Amino acid sequence: MALRILAVTSEAFPLAKTGGLGDAVSGMARAVHSRGPDITVMLPSYRGVRQRLLHASVIGHMHGLPGGDARLVKGLCPESGLDIIVLENDALYDREGLYLDESGKEYSDNAIRFAALSHAAARVAAGFPGVPGFDILHAHDWHAALAPLVLRQLGAKDVRTVLTLHNVAFQGWFDTSVAQQIGIDSDLWDNAGLMHGDCVNFLHAGITCADKITVVSGNYAQEILTPEFGCGLEELLRRRQDDIIAIANGIDVSVWNPVSDPYLKGSQFSADHLFNKSVCKRRLQETFSLEPDAESTVIGMGSRLTGQKMADVAAEAIPFLLDSHPGLQVCVIGCGEKHIEARLREIGDQYPGRCAVHIGYSEELAHLLHAGSDILLHGSRFEPFGLTPLYAMRYGTIPIGSRTGGMVDTIHDPGSVGTDEVMGLATGLLFDGDQVADIYNAIERALRLRSINTIWRRMQRNAMLRDFSWERAAPAYLHCYQALCSGRVEVVSPVLTASVREAKRTAAVRAGSRQIGISAA
Ligand code: ADP
Ligand code: GLC
């Protein structure tokens, strides 16, 4: 029998996504699935999610969860082909946002909402009537991090657990009074790491209880052992060091592919045929009311507009850059902290035709941004992995990233000293620091390199041809799962299984597509 894995998460692309977590979970699950294991992704049934599933049906009712009784609904995600279980409790999840209300404040019951997810997932993994049990529960980030503790509370020793750390800056901290409301026995509050300092801390519990902990890049796995990046968890992480495995993320090369990207509307391009990249640039300029100047350098910024992403510093740097470089344009897509959004909007108004700011979330515009920009600015104070620069690279858009976290592993910058020639090996630029001058200088450096056409062209080509696919990361996850379950499950031949599964998936998607009238991919 193949390994059975339950991936528990608050986001899975395209059903629910606010950032890279959703992309990473779906990309990883697809890649693992194609190598043999049966993998089901479980997430909350946020508004509209159930309607996007094919063959959605209620498979059970769960009583006694934090926040009240809930339904389990199983279906198939037509885009990813993954089996999905959603936890349906409209009082908890049928809301406009995933985590925040309209004013940008966290929902006051987030502890209950995600404790319910962890409890339900642990009970499903341990064996719920009508659903065969799972060998592995794979929890992602703090939202699912209570699940290993709940399994311990249930005494479900047959289910092994993996916790992936996508970002330890978000830990699920809550007032101690919350401990009474989330269904955890009081004797486990301290023993199983639920309490950390004067708070309930979901991630602390997850790191304490999970059998293995994976981290989304090698460099970040080292960084989080230090007080600067560990955000208070460094001591616990050092204690668990023998169980920490760094597995760098990949990207879904079928979703982010300039050769076949439907969002490029007929203007697809490749490393050998870049002409249509300039068509995309023109379309980006038109869409954002930037001057239609093919000679200008367009700097794109597409990310959460938060302190993590140094968006506050970028907002300060942009006017200086626009003033000192008449040939420069800036295009920003994002949403996040209100004061940063407001400042960027102001700059957009001050520089019409040269700085465009779209506050909001749009998958389509994000694809156009990566395709049409010349440079992607991706400053970060910390960056566990950083998918956005990889998407940019694939579209021949040179990333300028901070020398931190995963970007150290993924952006190749041979250095600002030495000859320009050496930059012919680069895939992007890295900079240190979080001051306006740091961003300013990094962009000046990029503009100078861009003026040397042969070198820039080589950098684009290097970037576009780098293999960052999930296929490279999947074996490490498989190895981790198999090591945890050794002797308990038969390992199925990956090649055979992959083709059988792909055929099953295509048949299921086709059948579902006929039913709801969309065309099969
Ligand atoms: P993080 O997960 O920290 O936000 P990543 O770079 O790993 O950073 O992933 C961000 C993902 O979210 C990318 O897929 C990016 O395109 C997407 N994204 C962020 N903001 C927006 C937005 N406003 N509109 C569309 N996509 C966005
Ligand atoms: C987090 C991190 C980001 C990473 C993503 C996927 O949101 O901030 O760096 O790429 O998760 O793992």
- Cis check: omega of the bond before 262, within 30 degrees of 0: no
Q: Dig out the tokens for 278 from the structure.
A: 């300039």
DSSP 185-196: -THHHHHTT-EE
Question: Is 498's pLDDT higher than 90?
Answer: no
pLDDT value of residue 487 = 64
The best mutation among 255, 388, 394, 470 to test binding of ligand 1, ranked by most ligand atoms within 8 Å of the C-beta, falls on 388
Render pLDDT for 9-32 as a digit per residue (tens, 0 to 9): 999 999 999 999 999 999 999 999
User: How many C-beta atoms lie closer than 10 Å to residue 318's C-beta?
Assistant: 29
Question: What is the C-alpha separation between 441 and 80, in angstroms, rounded?
Answer: 41
Hey, whose CA ends up nearest to atom 17 of ligand 1? 19
pLDDT value of residue 506 = 44
- Percent share of the chain, pLDDT over 90: 91
Question: Is 488's pLDDT higher than 90?
Answer: no
User: How many C-beta atoms lie closer than 10 Å to residue 346's C-beta?
Assistant: 13
Mean pLDDT of all residues in 314-329: 98
pLDDT value of residue 130 = 86
* Separation of CA 252 and ligand 2 centre (Å): 14
**Residues within a 6 A CB radius of ligand 2:** 19-21, 24, 166-167, 216, 249, 383-387
Ligand nearest to the CA of 216: 2
Question: Is 509's pLDDT higher than 50?
Answer: no
pLDDT value of residue 87 = 98
pLDDT value of residue 415 = 85
What b/e sequence results for 176-202 when a residue is b if at least 16 CB atoms lie within 10 Å of its CB, and e otherwise?
eebbeebbbeeebbeebbbbbeebbbb
User: How many C-beta atoms lie closer than 10 Å to residue 64's C-beta?
Assistant: 10
Strands 173-175 and 199-201, bridge-based pairing: antiparallel
pLDDT value of residue 220 = 98
Hey, whose CA ends up nearest to atom 12 of ligand 2? 166
pLDDT value of residue 492 = 45
Ligand nearest to the CA of 18: 1
Whether ligand 1 lies within 6 angstroms of the CB of 402 is answered as no
Mean pLDDT of all residues in 246-251: 98
User: How many C-beta atoms lie closer than 10 Å to residue 373's C-beta?
Assistant: 28
The best mutation among 387, 402, 404 to test binding of ligand 1, ranked by most ligand atoms within 8 Å of the C-beta, falls on 387
pLDDT value of residue 323 = 98
Which residue, 314, 355, 446, is CA-closest to 392? 446
Q: In what order do the strands lie in the sheet with 173-175?
A: 173-175, 199-201, 195-196
Render pLDDT for 430-441 as a digit per residue (tens, 0 to 9): 999 999 999 999
What b/e sequence results for 239-277 when a residue is b if at least 16 CB atoms lie within 10 Å of its CB, and e otherwise?
ebeeebbbbbbbbbbebbbbeebebbeebbbebeeeebb
Is the pTM above the cut of 0.85? yes
Looking from the CA of 1 toward its CB, the CA atoms found within 13 Å total 12
pLDDT value of residue 101 = 92
The ligand 2 atom nearest the CA atom of 308: 8
* Separation of CA 13 and ligand 1 centre (Å): 11
Domains present along the chain, CATH in parentheses: 4-252+470-516 (3.40.50.2000), 262-465 (3.40.50.2000)
Hey, whose CA ends up nearest to atom 20 of ligand 1? 303
Whether ligand 1 lies within 6 angstroms of the CB of 333 is answered as yes
pLDDT value of residue 419 = 75
pLDDT value of residue 205 = 98
Question: Is 448's pLDDT higher than 90?
Answer: yes
Which residue, 138, 145, 139, is CA-closest to 171? 145
* Separation of CA 507 and ligand 1 centre (Å): 31
Ligand nearest to the CA of 394: 1
Mean pLDDT of all residues in 456-462: 97
Going by pLDDT thresholds of 50, 70 and 90, the confidence category of residue 512 is: very low
- Percent share of the chain, pLDDT over 70: 93
